[in-house]
Amino acid sequence: MVLSNLIAIVKKSILLVSMFTLFACEATSPGSVQSSYGPMQADELLAGNPKFTLSYENYNLSEKEVDALKPYANQIKVKVLFGTWCHDSQREVPRFLKLAEQLPDLEFQLISLDYQKSDPDGKAEKYQVKYTPTFIVFKNGQEIGRIIERPQISIGEDIAKFAAER
């Protein structure tokens, strides 16, 4: 009798722990981190994501980086595919935004991805994005280069190198 009561208590405890775990996982599912994915404005990104804002505020943009990209700013377009949950995106995207702020002729589009690196418009799939952030640089409608996760030198200098070579 005591053994059967003990087994019943253990079963109920396991069931309760299992249910709690399931509901806890649901509450922190990737979709609850950010409810909108796809195209996003810079001010929207910075306003809704404190880690991006802090990174933006703390980054000291160099004149060298701005000067490197300035001659090409009106010739290129940059698509930035990123995840708000991604630490590399939290570091690199604000740096890019600070650079873009100094180059009003630079056209760019921010595209927020979910944890599976997908978006409602299918841009991540179209451009075969595997890692975030991915900066895709276009000139005359043709892709001329990518920065994946982090630049080799700096975002501005890497993009300028792509533009100068094509």
Q: Give the model confidence (pLDDT) of 66-93 as tens digits.
A: 999 999 999 999 999 999 999 999 999 9
CB 88 within 8 A of CB 15: no
Q: What is the pTM of this model?
A: 0.79
Q: What are phi and psi of 109, to 5 degrees?
A: -135, 130
- CA 52 to chain centroid, in Å, comes to 10
Instruction: Map out the domains of the chain as residue ranges.
Output: 1-32, 34-165
- What pLDDT is stored for residue 166 in this prediction? 83
More confident residue, 163 or 25: 163
How many angstroms separate the CA atoms of 45 and 95, rounded? Answer: 13
> Does position 15 have pLDDT exceeding 90, yes or no?
no
Q: What are phi and psi of 146, to 5 degrees?
A: -140, 145
What are the C-alpha distances in Å from 102 to residues 7, 25, 66, 71, 78?
68, 42, 7, 13, 15
What is the average pLDDT across 150-163?
A: 97
Give the list of residues 6+ apart from residue 97 with CB closer than 8 angstroms, or none: 42, 45, 46, 56
| Strand arrangement, sheet containing 38-40 | 38-40, 107-112, 76-82, 134-139, 142-148
What is the average pLDDT across 3-19?
A: 53
How many angstroms separate the CA atoms of 49 and 35, rounded? Answer: 12
CB 82 within 8 A of CB 115: no
Q: Which one-letter DSSP state was computed for residue 153?
A: S
More confident residue, 143 or 23: 143
Look up the CATH number of domain 34-165: 3.40.30.10
Q: Which residue type is seen at 26?
A: E
> Does position 146 have pLDDT exceeding 50, yes or no?
yes
